[in-house]
Amino acid sequence: MIIGIEAQRISRKKKHGMDMVALELIRHLQKIDQQNKYYIYVAPGSDTACLEETSNFIIRTLKMASYPLWEQIALPKAAKVDQCDLLHCTSNTAPLSCPVPLVVTIHDVIYLEKSIGQLLGSSGTSYQKMGNLYRRFVVPHIVQKCKAVITVSQFEKQQIASLFGLNEKKLFAVYNGVSSYFKPITDAEILSNYKEKYHLPEQFFFHLGNTDPKKNTLGVIKAYGHFLRETQQPIPLVMLDFDHKELKKLVKESGFPEVFDHIHLAGYVPNHELPAIYSLCSIFLYPSLRESFGIPILEAMACGAPVITSNTSSMPEIADNAALLVDPYHPEQITQAM
């Protein structure tokens, strides 16, 4: 077979969730499949060395002015030219008109659980809002046309089946994995080097948040504010790759202005260096409002970090009784767990 894989995001320098899932999927296919031929379709990016070509894995860089045009025009055209027998789209959406059989991985459908007004009125960047509107338009059409839909948890499988009335035979839940380098780091010299590199304190809470409201960074800041006031223990809160101005807005909104001086922004940390942060932290905070999976839960656990996560959506399924579960809508519960 000739199989096309949409991997538009893997050449990004700053890779996150879906990017890493697609990259690791391809890397592991390279290890186990020497028979089928693969075309890996990527967008131009700075990290072109993240994936090596092999005799049966050919990387195609497709250029287009925007992501929708890349996906709707360049991608199906390339799949047709390369005579693919199957195209697997890994990033929630796919071409509305595809000349070859299609399989799509849908990581979540949160953009369909809210009204357009709620999506536009929520906090988050303009890029995030437009992305949600794009997915809201495209996904209902492609799920009916594709041969199979893959998602990442039983929770999300039920959500998708309920929203679209899909036949269970074309809907598959396949759990995400964790890269092998996520393991406890105990070497004192290595840990010391990372503490120096990212200016990390001796003891700290660790939160992987962003401007997406579902990550509940505001709730974490409120919980942290309660913790500081109630315990008088100035344990810093470390956050990665978070905009300084956005943090100021959230701190102001939280009602705990004093926490700003105790939050340490460590900048972007490459995925392969995250095990050091997990190994150093006292507690990993991941009380999202909603997740389809929540890979950081498993990453933190693999590195030996205690985890606080939410009792909503997929998180109890993924944490599987190995974390403290809290109601993310009540910051005082997060504080109590801390």
**Segments making up each domain of the chain, as ranges:** 2-173, 188-337
Strand partners, 186: none
The domain made up of 2-173 has a fold known as Rossmann fold (3.40.50)
pLDDT of residue 118: 72
Q: Give dist(CA 291, CA 296) in Å, integer.
A: 11
- The number of angstroms, rounded, from the C-alpha of 318 to the middle of its chain's C-alpha atoms is 14
Q: Span 216-229, mean pLDDT?
A: 97
**Residue 211 pLDDT greater than 70, yes or no:** yes
* Choice among 118-132, 166-180, 197-211, 284-298 with the minimum mean pLDDT: 118-132
Summarised one tens digit per residue, pLDDT across range 235-287 is: 999 999 888 999 999 999 999 999 999 999 999 999 999 999 999 999 999 99
Q: Average model confidence (pLDDT) for the chain?
A: 94
- Residues 319, 309 contacting (CB under 8 angstroms): yes
One fold for both 2-173 and 188-337?
Answer: yes
Summarised one tens digit per residue, pLDDT across range 303-322 is: 999 999 999 999 999 999 99
**Which pLDDT band holds residue 123 (cuts at 50, 70, 90)?**
low
Count other C-beta atoms under 10 Å from residue 243's C-beta: 12
Q: Span 206-230, mean pLDDT?
A: 94
Q: At what angle do helices 244-254 and 217-231 cross, to 10 degrees?
A: 60
Q: Give dist(CA 281, CA 290) in Å, integer.
A: 23
pLDDT of residue 124: 65
- Residues 85, 26 contacting (CB under 8 angstroms): no
**Which pLDDT band holds residue 65 (cuts at 50, 70, 90)?**
confident
Long-range contacts of residues 123-131, Cβ cutoff 8 Å, at least 24 apart: 123/211, 123/213, 124/211, 124/212, 124/213, 125/211, 128/211, 128/212
Q: Give dist(CA 272, CA 270) in Å, integer.
A: 6
**Residue 208 pLDDT greater than 70, yes or no:** yes
**Residue 128 pLDDT greater than 90, yes or no:** no
pLDDT of residue 130: 86
Q: Give dist(CA 14, CA 322) in Å, integer.
A: 29
Summarised one tens digit per residue, pLDDT across range 23-39 is: 999 999 999 999 999 99
Summarised one tens digit per residue, pLDDT across range 142-171 is: 999 999 999 999 999 999 999 999 988 999
- In CATH, 188-337 is 3.40.50.2000: yes
- Altogether, the residues listed in the chain come to a count of 338
**Which pLDDT band holds residue 11 (cuts at 50, 70, 90)?**
confident
pTM higher than 0.85: yes
**Which pLDDT band holds residue 122 (cuts at 50, 70, 90)?**
low
Q: Give dist(CA 311, CA 314) in Å, integer.
A: 8
**Residue 74 pLDDT greater than 70, yes or no:** yes
Q: Give dist(CA 15, CA 269) in Å, integer.
A: 10
**Residue 71 pLDDT greater than 70, yes or no:** yes
- The number of angstroms, rounded, from the C-alpha of 99 to the middle of its chain's C-alpha atoms is 29
Q: Span 213-233, mean pLDDT?
A: 96
